[in-house]
Structure 1
Amino acid sequence: MSQELSVASYNIHKGVGTDRRRDLARTVAVIAEIGADILAVQEADTRFGHRKGLLDLDKIRKELGLIAVPMEGVGDAHGWHGNLLLVRNALVQEVHQLALPGLEPRGALVSDLVIAGRPLRVVNAHLGLLKVSRKAQVRVLLEKIRDMEDRPTLLMGDLNEWRGAGVAFQTLEKHFTFAQAPASFPSRYPLLALDRMMITPHGALLNVSAHDSPLSRRASDHLPIKARLRFDPDPTGG
């Protein structure tokens, strides 16, 4: 029997909207609109100096039922290089914090979950602006995944691939099935598909779209993207 979950990815731009105001309450309101079971967030912390988390994680947990996966050694930050994973009704088994190579600090979270009774690995990544950096970052991500126990893997995030046909994507296409790529940037007049989702051949991503609302067009320079994740039928019948 197949099962479905709601999944999403959102670069919140540190809570700064297209009106240049930082309004994290507005950001949380957009997260509530999305209603995802799994949400990959990018730019969740201040970037320079002493990194600090920006979202009210207690409020998100109490009001939306979303809990941040735990991390080590991040101090007052909520994410890892700004990457934060929020999950609902999931058992978090293991979280790996990867530093990605490149001229600018970048990272990725690799989280092993059990959700809806099924194992799932979620990779939340924010890749670099330079093509050579993205190529190296994808190589590190895939090496990490190959070294881990095999399980269905969902990769989401701001991948910064402007053309969608670079070497980084050509490499990822060998391992993942890409979902259709809705335009998500810039949020007021979306033209570019910088935010992406892809899944290993253990399931499918359905109804992929940008979450386009009056609020989401103001809350960040990126629109969230969302989809339904359908697991393949469990061969054990579970």
Structure 2
Amino acid sequence: MDALPDTLPDAPGERLRIASYNIRKCLGTDRRRNPERTMRVIKRTAAEIAVLQEADRRLGDRPAALTPEVIAQASDYTPLPIAKNHVSLGWHGNAILVRPWIELEDLHHLDLPSFEPRGAVAADLRRDGQLLRVVGVHLGLRTPDRLRQLGAISDWLATQTRLPTLILGDFNEWSATAPLAPLKPDFNVLAPGPSFHARLRLAPLDRIAHCDLWEPARTGMLDEGEALRASDHLPIWGEFRLPG
């Protein structure tokens, strides 16, 4: 696997680097809840845009497990204003962190059909003058729900201005060869590796889907150091370029 940079880049590069990470409410496989450790792992991905799942606690008002204060103290990432209250970081646990040169143009909350409450967040962003769209997801546990949720996302995208789009997150799909038909033929789905369980490498639950306006350069997992303990998922990452 290609090595990641030792430090966060201080400007956008030729390729867009993104990451997705189910942070499990900052609860590690050692049963320690350590937001500072979680933030160190996110930084280690060197992503310009980091899409998170399970960023908030589940009970009550769903307070942030990874707080804006921890993020600001540890990095120059900014959380997008996704939360619909004053205590959460995200919505349905979905949050997006961006580096300083990523500008927010528009934000969308997508209710998804499910046996259990689920939602996706979509951010229209500007990077180095280029508009792009990132959709963060945490799909359901049941196959019929996942397919309906992907169908709802695909239907919503069809109503929007077409932009270079990436859909990433915890797809909760155990099969590496699942066709994920609702995204076809508009998206190609990449599974960088068996990101769950962090200790056992059982299944590629975490994935990145890209439309044909993107060219994938490389993808991978962060499977070393504190990432092995910070969550039951490993972070995945990808680098993409726009043709021409």
Q: Same fold (TM over 0.5)?
A: yes
Deviation per CA, 1:93-125: give whole Å up to 9, x if none.
Answer: 111011211111111101000112211100000
Aligned residue in 2 for 1:60 = 71
| 2:188 pairs with 1:174 | no
Deviation at residue 180 of structure 1 after TM alignment:
4.3
Q: How does 1:67-216 map to 2 (within 5 A)?
A: 67-71=78-82, 73-88=84-99, 89-166=101-178, 169-216=180-227
Do 1:198 and 1:205's aligned partners in 2 also have CA atoms closer than 8 Å?
no
CA distance in 2 between partners of 1:202 and 1:49 (Å): 41
Residue 190 of structure 1 and its aligned partner are, at CA, apart by: 1.1
CA distance in 1, matches of 2:85, 2:111: 13
* Aligned length in residues: 231
- In percent, how many aligned pairs have the same letter? 37
Map 1:5-84 onto structure 2 (within 5 A): 5-61=16-72, 63-71=74-82, 73-84=84-95
Give the whole-Å Cα distance in 2 for the aligned partners of 1:6 and 1:116. Answer: 13
SS in 2 for 1:32: helix
Q: Point out where structure 2 has 5 or more consecutive residues left out of the alignment.
A: 1-12
**In 1, Cα distance between equivalents of 2:185 and 2:123:** 21
Aligned to 1:222: 233
Give the secondary structure class of the aligned counterpart of 1:219: coil
Q: Deviations over 1:214-235 (max 9, x none)?
A: 21010000000011121222xx
Letter in 1 for 2:210: I
CA shift at 1:72, angstroms? 5.5
Q: In structure 1, give the amino acid aligned to 2:207.
A: R
Contact 1:6 1:38 in 2 (8 A): yes
Partner Cα distance (2:19, 2:216) in 1: 11
- TM-score under structure 2 normalisation? 0.90
> Which AA in structure 2 matches 1:41?
L
Structure number with higher relative contact order (C-alpha < 8 Å, ≥ 6 residues apart): 1
Q: Which residue identity does 2:117 align to in structure 1?
A: P
Shift of 1:191: 2.4
Aligned residue type for 1:52: P
Higher mean Cα deviation, 49-58 or 125-134? 49-58
Contact (CA 8 Å) 1:179, 1:205: kept in 2 or not? no
Q: Deviations over 1:147-174 (max 9, x none)?
A: 111110011000001114446x122132
CA–CA distance in structure 1, aligned partners of residues 127 and 89 of structure 2:
22
Q: Give CA-to-partner distance per residue, 1:6-31, whole Å, 9 cap, x none.
A: 11000000011111111111101111
Q: How far, CA to CA, are the matches of 1:74 and 1:137 in structure 2?
A: 24
Instruction: State the shift of 1:53 in Å.
Output: 0.8
* 2:147–2:181 contact (8 Å) kept in structure 1: no
Given that residues 218 and 240 in structure 2 are in contact (C-alpha distance below 8 angstroms), is that contact kept between their aligned partners in structure 1?
Answer: no
